[in-house]
Structure 1
Amino acid sequence: MRPTEEEKELRSAVRASLARHEGAAAWRPLTGQIGVAGLAVPEEYGGAGRGAREVHVVMEELGRHLSPVPYLGSAVLAVRALLASGDARARAHLLPGLAEGRTVGALAWAERGSWEPAAIRTDAARGPGGGWRLTGTKEFVLHGAEADVLLVAARTEGGTEGGISLFQVPVDGAGVRRVATVPMDRTRAQARLVLDGAEGRLIGADGDGVRVLRHVRDLACTALAAEQVGAAQRCLELTVAYAKERIQFGRPIGSFQAVRHRLADAYVRVESARSAALGAAFAADAGAPELSRRAAAAKSACSEAFAAVAGEMIQLHGGIGITWEHDAHRYFKRAHGSAQLFGPPAAHRRRLAEELGLTSAAGTATATAPATSP
């Protein structure tokens, strides 16, 4: 899992750009000069035609800086949904703008606090003229309030697997209300989307939404795991540096054995999480059938590792770690917010157990376990 020279150069360029441009101002340099928004977009649509490993590099760096740019919602969720839909017309129309970063996409998916397709209650019905009209409420829409391209998962009568389909909804159309929410992590913009008979254009095949969402969830968890690793790594770096500078009883606190043990445990957590995240990225690029279980394992492991290391950061910084002046609280909030995004760790462990045949879909234990491990 050694990085290639191209991946090293990409990491260096992204890190340097984020150091020069703070906050949302980093989006234009990242997209215009480095082309991060189009990394996973095929070349025929103006992208670089790369894969999950390159996305992994970008997400790690964005995690280190807690960058608020709309990369996850637009370049991962929206782009991957369009690619998975198989809709040639929608791809040709929407992907070039998303690849250049001229437009920002959002995928409205979650309902009732869940990212499971079974939780979707937004209804898509055919209107008098044969078009589609969507009614329902979506939650946790990443950058949904400012998105230029809005993709919505809704329930129809078509298909054989749950009747879920994907639609493009005009962002300023009649019956569309976007409400910016105030999440715990202010660096991750989210919105609530309220649809009341909003016009929608079908993307892909009617009833194919469950397959699309499941695939997008795996790739989203893979990307988010990389972000969590980058943020956890930065927490560890800041804490180690502080342990070398903070003097107590005439010596740096990092020289005390108890502190060393805690830092060593944090290091193991970060590196173990990195292995899980990279494993999922490699599986995604290979089109491996075990992507779902590797993505579930990565999301669970990286969520818990980041939360633990962010907690240690606050503990080992002492009083300054709980002040607004220090960044520790920002990493702590990102850790707990990202742990819930796309489902909490426990939900992904259940999904992993089901993938491995350790439990039934109802959550009951099976008699035997498979010989292989994830």
Structure 2
Amino acid sequence: MHFAFTEDQAAITEAAREMLLETCTPSDLRKLLESGNPRDAGRWSTICEMGLPGIMAPESAGGLELGLTDLVGIAEAAGYVGLPEPLIELAGVTIPLLASLADDHGWLERAASGDFVAIGHPTNSFVGDADQASALLLGHGEEIHLVPAEAVSLVRQDSFDSFRRLFTVEWTPSSATLVGRDWALAAERGALLAAAQMIGLGQRCIDMSVSYAKDRTQFGKPIGSYQAVKHLVASAQVAIEFARPVVHAAAAELPLAIAASRARVAHAKIAAGEAADLAARTAVQVHGAMGITHEADVHFFLKRAFGLKSAWGTVAEHTRTVIERVTTARTGPDATFAAELSSPDPQ
């Protein structure tokens, strides 16, 4: 399989990345945090004007009808800037799920244009950004219910990351809200896109560490000239570089919905989570005592990385998925994650 992105995919990612870098700086994050608002209206308007929420929506619903591989680079860019707005889950999890329903009650087209629909998948304990939603996709056992925002009651839950707005939802399932019984690939998409964001978060922590190590002097020299600091940052960068292609490969193979592709997603989530965790902790260590203060920008990215590491499945849950794959089918360098050797049937 050829893992290089096409010119069109690279162009879309770069355009989104440039916009996010310009509109979502640490200074912007601080202003948003101080205001208490859940999102920046101007930034969300720009995101919608670029058509990013509908990147995976069908053209008939006003979307671009692109795939997960087209979104994964944008998810990485969103992680790199610590984007507070729920673009990635809306574009990559909610909209594909709405598109799979026999009757989306008109919400697919609305979501593709930026009208937020929150998703309460059984994998997660809480519903993210439910207070910003016009409607919610909620689970009742294996059932999928599409519920208007006015029909639910929300209870805010504490989060380590102030920008991850988490809620428990009180609601009553009914035949009128029932829209499906198959969550399909929603959990895998969520895990994969969380992994992509963690790659971006980890890379941002490393870049911040490098920049600080160049400027901060100790004993008359930049601290980045000392071997101990170099090795810390280099080890974190190696972890990111090894995890990134796993995430890209998982994005390409996820639609296969077979044992190998599920294990690939699980591997990507584990690898990206560990790499982002190492990069965040390294950034704090390189920054020294100020690295654990609110005044340093590191905390924005560290908190998001720690939060996403346990979202859409814990490390233990994803490890079980990988173990199931390696204990039920042939393994080895040519087979463990080789989708072309796996049949469509569960192995």
Q: TM-score band (shorter)? A: 0.7 to 0.9
Structure (1 or 2) with the greater helix fraction: 2
More displaced, 71-80 or 231-240? 71-80
Q: Give the alignment partner of residue 11 of structure 1, picking from 13, 16, 21.
A: 13
Counterpart CA distance in 2 for 1:147 and 1:100 is 13
Preserved contact between residue 77 and residue 106 of structure 1 (Cα < 8 Å): no
Closer, same or farther in 2 for the Cα pair 1:10/1:288, shift >3 Å? farther
In structure 2, what residue type is equivalent to 1:370? T
- Offset of residue 310 of structure 1: 0.1
Higher strand share: 1
Matched letter for residue 15 of structure 2 = A
Which digits, 9 at most, give the CA deviation of each residue in 1:252-301, with x for residues without a partner?
A: 11111111111111111111111111111111366666321111111111
Q: Which amino acid aligns with 2:210?
A: V
What pairs with 1:86-125 in structure 2 (closer than 5 Å)? 87=102, 89-90=103-104, 93-101=106-114, 103-110=115-122, 115=124
CA distance in 2, matches of 1:31, 1:190: 23
Give, in whole Å, the separation in 1 of the partners of 2:225 and 2:207. Answer: 16
1:169 aligns with 147
Q: Which 4+ runs in 1 deviate beyond 3 A?
A: 196-200, 285-289, 368-371
Aligned: 1:229 with 2:228: no
Local SS of the residue matching 1:275: helix
| Separation of aligned partners in 2, 1:230 and 1:266 | 13
State the Cα RMSD in Å: 2.0
- Does the 8 A contact of 2:137 with 2:145 survive in 1? yes
Q: SS of 1:37's equivalent? A: coil
Match of 2:331 in 1: 370
Q: Structure 1 CA distance, aligned partners of 2:214 and 2:281?
A: 19
Matches of 1:44 and 1:197 in 2, distance apart? 29
Q: Name the counterpart of 1:2.
A: 4
Q: Which of 231, 244, 252 is the matching residue for 1:274?
A: 244
Q: How does 1:1-374 map to 2 (within 5 A)?
A: 1-22=3-24, 24-25=39-40, 26-32=43-49, 34-85=50-101, 87=102, 89-90=103-104, 93-101=106-114, 103-110=115-122, 115=124, 139-155=125-141, 164-173=142-151, 176-196=152-172, 200-204=176-180, 208-209=181-182, 212-213=183-184, 215-284=185-254, 290-357=260-327, 370-371=331-332, 372-374=335-337
Q: How many residues align?
A: 318
Q: Gaps spanning 5+ residues in structure 2: where?
A: 30-38, 338-347
State the distance in 2 between where 1:199 and 1:67 align: 36
Percent identity for Structure 1 against Structure 2: 29
Conserved 8 A contact 1:144-1:180: no
Tell me if structure 2 keeps the 8 A contact 1:59–1:227: yes
Partners of 1:306 and 1:216 lie apart in 2 by 23
What stretches of structure 1 of length at least 5 have no aligned partner? Answer: 116-138, 156-163, 359-367
Deviation at 1:198, TM superposition (A): 6.4
Counterpart AA for 2:143 = S
Q: Distance in 1 between matches of 2:203 and 2:145?
A: 38
Distance 1:78 1:46 in 2: 15
Deviates more, 1:194-203 or 1:333-342: 194-203
| Distance change in 2, residues 1:80/1:355 (3 Å) | farther
State the distance in 1 between where 2:176 and 2:188 align: 25
Shift in Å at residue 73 of structure 1? Answer: 3.1
Once the two structures are TM-superposed, the CA of residue 4 in structure 1 deviates from its matched residue by 2.2
Q: Please say if residues 330 and 336 of structure 2, whose CA atoms lie closer than 8 Å, have aligned partners that are also in contact.
A: no
Contact 1:53–1:285 under 8 Å retained in 2: no
In 1: Cα distance, 2:133 partner to 2:326 partner: 38
CA shift, 1:140, in A, is 1.6
